[in-house]
Chain A
Amino acid sequence: DQQVKQNSPSLSVQEGRISILNCDYTNSMFDYFLWYKKYPAEGPTFLISISSIKDKNEDGRFTVFLNKSAKHLSLHIVPSQPGDSAVYFCAASRSNSGNEKLTFGTGTRLTIIP
């Protein structure tokens, strides 16, 4: 049972435009959400996170939006740059359960077209 879903395996966006990556979750107990970026032959690196007490978190070109009622989060990258081409994973955890393992989505491959 995939508790965190990224329904778009791939996405292509023109350089300078906005990239929007989506993620849905089914477990209402998740209260902390993260986005990771992964280049080939490297491990994932943490990008941005959001707690369930917020609905938006911004860090430079990256903004994560959380819609708890829809169990949906999205990552906006604006403006998109060629270096943003990578696989993006969303992840979720239950921060207060003592069981803080991350549950990941299947990833979305973002390609920025120059």
Chain B
Amino acid sequence: KAGVTQTPRYLIKTRGQQVTLSCSPISGHRSVSWYQQTPGQGLQFLFEYFSETQRNKGNFPGRFSGRQFSNSRSEMNVSTLELGDSALYLCASSQTAGGRGDTQYFGPGTRLTVL
């Protein structure tokens, strides 16, 4: 079974631009969660989608948004990029909503650099 895939793997943008990241979950998984990893903050939860609905949201500004499609693929969008948005963005999939950590499978991440 193929793992979680994320595209692109690397991205360089400038301040003020917007960016869209994509995540394809493991086949059969209906829940996708997004995390931001930075050196000083570790992994911080952004949001979770299940069956095309946002089920849970972390403490990030409204510039961070996401959506999930009927095939469970998910996209994350960041508008008006700031330097502090430079991070590794990870998505994780699980079969059920709010899957416990031991049933979440992470993708390799998208490394976003904002110049």
Task: Name A residues whose Cβ lies closer than 8 Å to a Cβ of B.
Answer: 2, 4, 6, 32, 34, 36, 41-46, 49, 89, 91, 93, 95, 98-107
Contact = CB atoms under 8 A, between A and B. Distances in A.
A91 B106 CA distance: 14
B53 interface: no
A34 B58 contact: no
Contact of B98 (A36, A89, A100, A106): A100
Given A49-B101, A93-B100, A43 B90 contact: yes
B26 to A, nearest CB: 12
B100 A99 contact: no
User: Which size bracket describes the interface of B in this complex?
Assistant: 20 to 34
Interface of B: 4, 33, 35, 39-45, 48, 56, 58, 90, 92, 98-102, 104-109
Contacts of B106: 43-45
Identify which of A2, A42, A100 gathers the most chain B CB atoms within 10 Å of its CB.
Answer: A100
